[in-house]
């Protein structure tokens, strides 16, 4: 129900302002100004606005100022880029794009929780990982017996996110045994795209059947990826 969604979001003026900033940024590139939440829902759709509200809500809740070991602005920039790439990959693989966007946005939420709740200890683990060659997953595992992917998946479970998002957060860091579930594979590919790998080089994340599907869609994937300047404009609006 559009009216109910608009009413609930509209109770939070700061969240409303953040959502409208992103909707009006060059990331979306709409020819006319989106002046209200109702307009945003009409133009972006319910699922699109839900994803945008989720992103803005997390930034608002956890903040984008100074953290401990985690560079919060850079964390949110990377998360938004991964989410956007995940949405594009999902369209090519005929997976739900907004689910992929949400999973991409939350793929490193465990890092944010650790940096918020165990700030001093996490700073030490991050420093140890850097000294040992940069394997943060191994350093976390050595310190606590779990890594930020498993912690993030548990957070997603307790927040009642769909199982496919929970599993994507858990499995997209290269620790999964066996074939990845579709959304997990999508997020894995998006992470590698965000790191600068080319679409043709990331197909090993997916099953043979999905690889066959991605093959003819690889050129379409390039077309679906956002312009870097538009993507940065969306990030800047989200953090502003």
CA distance 118 to 120: 6
**Percent of the chain whose predicted confidence (pLDDT) is above 90:** 27
**Percent of the chain whose predicted confidence (pLDDT) is above 70:** 87
CA distance 187 to 155: 18
Going by pLDDT thresholds of 50, 70 and 90, the confidence category of residue 217 is low
Which residue in this structure is represented by tokens 């949405």? 87
pLDDT in tens, 92-119: 888 999 999 999 999 999 999 999 889 8
Q: What is the pLDDT of residue 163?
A: 95
Q: What is the pLDDT of residue 235?
A: 81
Please, what sign has the CA dihedral across residues 230, 233, 234, 235?
positive
Strands (E), the chain: none
Provide the mean pLDDT of the chain.
84
Is the pLDDT assigned to residue 153 strictly greater than 90? yes
Q: Which two tokens stand for residue 188?
A: 């894995």
pLDDT in tens, 192-216: 889 888 766 666 666 665 666 565 5
Q: What is the pLDDT of residue 52?
A: 82
CA distance 191 to 183: 12
CA distance 141 to 107: 17
Can you tell me the mean pLDDT for 70-90? Answer: 89
Per DSSP, 133 falls in state T
Q: φ, ψ for residue 146 (rounded to 5)?
A: -150, 165
Radius of gyration of the chain (CA): 18
Three-state DSSP class for residue 189:
helix
User: Cβ atoms within 10 A of the Cβ of 130, count?
Assistant: 13
Is the pLDDT assigned to residue 165 strictly greater than 90? yes
pLDDT in tens, 170-194: 988 876 666 778 899 889 889 988 9
pLDDT in tens, 27-43: 888 888 888 888 888 87
CA distance 67 to 111: 11
- The pTM (predicted TM-score) of the whole model is 0.85
Q: Is 159 exposed, middle or buried (0-12, 13-18, 19+ CB in 10 A)?
A: exposed
């Amino acid at each position: 129900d559009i009216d109910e969604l608009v009413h609930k979001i509209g109770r939070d003026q700061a969240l409303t302002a953040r959502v409208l900033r992103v909707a009006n940024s060059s990331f979306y590139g709409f020819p006319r100004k989106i002046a209200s939440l109702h307009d945003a829902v009409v133009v972006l759709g319910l699922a699109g606005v839900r994803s945008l509200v989720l992103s803005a809500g997390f930034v608002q809740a956890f903040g984008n100022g100074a953290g401990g070991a985690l560079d919060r602005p850079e964390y949110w920039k990377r998360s938004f880029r991964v989410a956007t790439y995940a949405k594009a990959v999902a369209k090519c693989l005929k997976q739900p794009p907004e689910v992929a966007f949400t999973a991409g946005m939350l793929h490193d939420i465990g890092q944010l929780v650790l940096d918020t709740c165990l700030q001093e200890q996490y700073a030490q683990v991050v420093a140890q990982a850097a000294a040992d060659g940069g394997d943060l997953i191994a350093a976390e595992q050595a310190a606590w017996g779990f890594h930020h992917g498993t912690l993030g998946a548990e957070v997603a479970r307790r927040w009642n996110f769909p199982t496919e998002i929970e599993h994507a957060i858990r499995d997209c860091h290269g620790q999964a045994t066996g074939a990845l579930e579709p959304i997990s594979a999508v997020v894995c590919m998006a992470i590698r795209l965000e790191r600068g790998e080319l679409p043709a080089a990331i197909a090993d994340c997916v099953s043979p059947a999905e690889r066959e599907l991605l093959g003819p869609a690889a050129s379409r994937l390039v077309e679906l990826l956002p312009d870097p300047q538009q993507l940065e404009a969306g990030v800047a609006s989200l953090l502003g």
